[in-house]
Chain A
């Protein structure tokens, strides 16, 4: 009798040891590696709220149909305290202990870069909704993102300038001592000159961080005959540039990048910035279609307008669901399923996200459209159009 008991126990134990290879038949577990506490708890909150809405919808409709079987979704939210080291341990916990199929998050590049390493090494697909640093996905076949990369906005704005304003000549003013504006300015120049011929960027002017007076550069720009001015600067420099440009007689469009998109911009710029444009991930004001639906659902439930993190998290969840569906059926072997999901993620084409259409390639970065925002006369960041590279 005893022997039988021991034998049964051994069987159970070995089954337990093997258990990680198999998993509960009809739920799909997805991990969220998000900052619920720490420096940016709001980011974690937005991600969680967006996920809560989405999971309620999917499970409310019966679940996710993969092949001929319908699965319920289960989301596991883990806090990475907005720290790089916690992000890696959280990722490990989700992969080994919770046995999730895939991970969404971390949001900021600071945590997404180290967590991406862990996920890639453990061969678990990870989608960072918000991390724009190229390093997050570099040489990591299992790591993806739902947003565009920093340098990507340059070509987008160049295209917008050419199409919207029929600009044949452009001017650029940027801070040469700061990586982000410098990268963007160079990518803009390259793209604009490809479209309008060499030398079409007639003024490529620089300054250094903390400069307040741009009059010499702006004089050159104003007299250069450029049709648009692109200045990928931060919200504390934009008001000075815009004001001085106007005083020197510049009355053509000024374009910016997502670094403009801070609520502080309008406090500092007042009326000066109204009527100008910048590229970004998503715009809440003036949104249409699915984007508007999402904003309405979110606002109704949580009483505030969701920001870009929430929208990108929403897209990341849908991307993952799409990839799971495309596998055509899960085997139940988690390693194989993780691999299948990764393969399907790289093959996603023309995915209609609320932050734009996305197409993936093996690099892990989507080719997607950016949103051009116009600063309205009321000082709101209003959706103007979506521009694809």
Chain B
């Protein structure tokens, strides 16, 4: 039998109706509200959507095919290692969403669908879903950015091993929300391969772009370079003009208000110590 649960992530409430639920959402359970930001209904059945493909994006064996139906609904097809995992169909405003899940891909499809709908429906509310690993230290959150495989998670591990009092807030998909008085980073139900689903928030203390090098060196990132570091780390359909405008607005606030650095580094203890000494003193 289907039941409905309500979750609160970065102070946005959404609902999910399904036959079963996953543990990574439990810390985010909240009371029922009359008007959630969006709702997702999950069907455990196969479905072939008839749609026009706009773009297909592939990363690490996962593929998302985006498109739209004739009536203007958005379609997202999820594939994992060349097997179809599910189809998300959304109204143009992303308020009501339906997900059809293939057997064996329940969690994969649910996580992907909720991340997409969350990112797209909160973009207009000064909220950004990042691809980042986040360390909590000294009452602030520090985000590490970088392409897949750069070593974001590795760098976080090095903080945990070398910096007293450092904790992992999220290892893959934290949420940043801009409030009038401050910018906060929130844990989320999505954390990649790491079991770290913390319902916690911290003021955002800084952002560090990582790249691999044969040495450790840190320098401040400003202006366009800072902007260029943010863009590939934030989820969103940038080919949708309204969404792109909203993301751009939030990105310019972040580069104005948050200190950003570029850390060229080795995967060693000194990288974490150099990083910590530089960014937590600012």
Do A and B interact?
no
